[in-house]
Amino acid sequence: MSDSSSAYSLDQIERWMQSVITHPRGVHAGVNSSPSRQQIDVSTDQIDEVILPGPAQSPLERLAVYGNAYYARLLGVLRELFPALSHALGEDLFSAFAFDYLQRYPSQSYTLGRLADCFVRFLEETRPTAPPPEADAAGPMPVSWPDFIIDLARLEWTIDEVFDAPGVENEPLLDPSHLARIPAARWPEARLVPVVCLRLLSFKYPVNDYYTEFRQGKAPPLPEPRTTFAALLRRDYIVRRFELSAAQHELLSALVDGETLGNAVMRCARHDDDVERLSSQLQAWFRLWAAEGFFQSVHVSTDCSLEGEL
């Protein structure tokens, strides 16, 4: 794709320019880098063979407009995607993580909404150990500090995902009163169908509480490690968060896996030695979850199906 008036093909120019403006150490280093010179072999001293000077800018200064914008734009989007994590780490440290992420996982999507598709995976792979700004005053950071970062990133990314994922706003949901119509003897075989936007999460840190305090405008301190669980779903186009116990998380996970209620309760019981107490709580849990829109329908058997507006 070159012609007699062109020194370089369009493909060469585009690959060269992309390599230059996305170089982590700026366009000067970018022009002199090996990937760029494999496309167009010019040094910064020869740059005007490709880019002409402007009325008041050198060719490198002109390229730097794009180079600066590339990182400013994408770092800005990542800060918007992970506001609580950005707060927890401080802007500089968050930007350093995000900057490294963009090197390893540059965007391959037409939408900025997928820019952070691999951010949690990146944090899991790298387990960044850099301390937060307050670490000096707070003393040594716990060994599990990277888990806090990963947990908080996972919570925020799931919130973003649920916000625009398929939901059930225009579909009938299970009416809580319908649960009472199921004969007690049929409960073990019942299958509750969770809504498509339900997400279940487990954390090593209480990041849901941390996120709540952040949303309230507080400046939450770094929490102590504590295993926590949460459910996320979207109702009326707003993402809702629910703290869960370990038993609740196990029960809902089993239902998401398609287990019957009987089998789900059995799985749940492994997390709670007090079976009687568990049994007494189940009815209240299901009433609450049904009222909050956790379930689309309940199926008891082929001859007894209760869905939506029955």
Site residues (CB under 8 A) for another protein? 1-3, 5-11, 13-15, 17-18, 21-22, 48-52, 54-57, 59, 61-63, 65-66, 68-70, 72-74, 76-77, 80-81, 106-113, 115, 159-160, 162-167, 169, 215, 234, 237-241
147: its two tokens = 């888990």
> Which lies closer to another protein via its Cβ, residue 87 or residue 191?
87
> Which lies closer to another protein via its Cβ, residue 57 or residue 283?
57
First to last CA, the chain: 64
Helix (H) or strand (E) holding 1: none
**Residue 246 Cβ, how far from another protein at the closest point, in Å?**
23
Residue found under tokens 């794709």: 1
27: its two tokens = 């366009």
User: Residue 187: how many CB atoms within 10 A of its CB?
Assistant: 18
> Which lies closer to another protein via its Cβ, residue 61 or residue 274?
61
**Residue 31 Cβ, how far from another protein at the closest point, in Å?**
12
Residue found under tokens 């649960």: 179
135: its two tokens = 């670490």
- What number of CA atoms fall less than 13 Å from residue 302's CA on the CB side? 0
**Residue 243 Cβ, how far from another protein at the closest point, in Å?**
13
CB 261 within 8 A of CB 267: no
**Residue 197 Cβ, how far from another protein at the closest point, in Å?**
9
> Which lies closer to another protein via its Cβ, residue 170 or residue 302?
170
Name the DSSP letter for residue 145.
H
**Residue 303 Cβ, how far from another protein at the closest point, in Å?**
34
CB 188 within 8 A of CB 262: yes
296: its two tokens = 């689309």
> Which lies closer to another protein via its Cβ, residue 59 or residue 132?
59
> Which lies closer to another protein via its Cβ, residue 165 or residue 288?
165
**Residue 134 Cβ, how far from another protein at the closest point, in Å?**
25
Residue found under tokens 């020194």: 7
Q: What angle do CA 46, 47, 53 make, to 5 degrees?
A: 120
**Residue 300 Cβ, how far from another protein at the closest point, in Å?**
30
Three-class SS state of 193: strand
CB 206 within 8 A of CB 223: yes
> Which lies closer to another protein via its Cβ, residue 75 or residue 247?
75
